[in-house]
Amino acid sequence: MANLQSIAGFPVESVLAIARSIGWGAAEILQSYYHPNPVAGESTLDLNIQDQGDGPVTAADVATNHYILNNLHAAFGTVEFGYLTEETFKAQNPAERLQHTWVWIVDPLDGTKDFIKRTGEYAVHIALAHAGRPVLAVVVCPELGKLYYATLGDGTFVETRDGAVTQLRVAERDRIEDLSVVVSGSHRGERLVQLLRQLPCQNQRAIGSVGCKIAAIVEQQADLYISLSGKSAPKDWDLAAPELILTEAGGKVTRFDGSLLQYNQADVSQWGGILASNGTCHTELCTQAETLLAAIDSSV
For 183-214, give one letter per residue: b (16+ CB within 10 A) or e: bbeebbeebbebbbeebebeeeeebbbbbbbb
Q: Tell me the residue type at 256.
A: F
Give yes or no for residue 265 having a pLDDT over 60.
Answer: yes
Residue pair 289/281 in contact by the 8 Å Cβ criterion: no
Helix (H, G, I), strand (E, B) or coil at 166: strand
Give yes or no for residue 275 having a pLDDT over 80.
Answer: yes
Percent of the chain with pLDDT over 70: 93
Q: Cα 60 from chain centroid?
A: 18
Q: What's the pLDDT tens digit per position in 169-197?
A: 999 999 999 999 999 876 668 899 999 99
Q: What's the pLDDT tens digit per position in 45-84?
A: 678 777 765 677 788 999 999 999 999 999 999 999 999 9
Packing angle between helix 210-218 and helix 236-247, nearest 10 degrees? 10
Exposed, middle or buried: residue 47 (CB in 10 Å: 0-12, 13-18, 19+)?
Answer: middle
Identify the helix (H) or strand (E) that includes residue 160.
strand 156-160
- What is d(CA 115, CA 86) in angstroms, rounded to the nearest whole number? 16
- What is d(CA 198, CA 56) in angstroms, rounded to the nearest whole number? 31
Torsion of CA 54, 55, 61, 66, to 10 degrees: 20
Helix (H, G, I), strand (E, B) or coil at 245: helix
Q: Evaluate if pTM is beyond 0.85.
A: yes
User: What contacts 172, CB < 8 A, 6 or more positions away?
Assistant: 278, 280
Exposed, middle or buried: residue 115 (CB in 10 Å: 0-12, 13-18, 19+)?
Answer: buried
Spatial CA neighbour of 184 closest among 228, 247, 118, 246: 228
Cα-only R_g, the chain: 19
Give yes or no for residue 164 having a pLDDT over 50.
Answer: yes
Looking at residue 53, its pLDDT comes to: 56
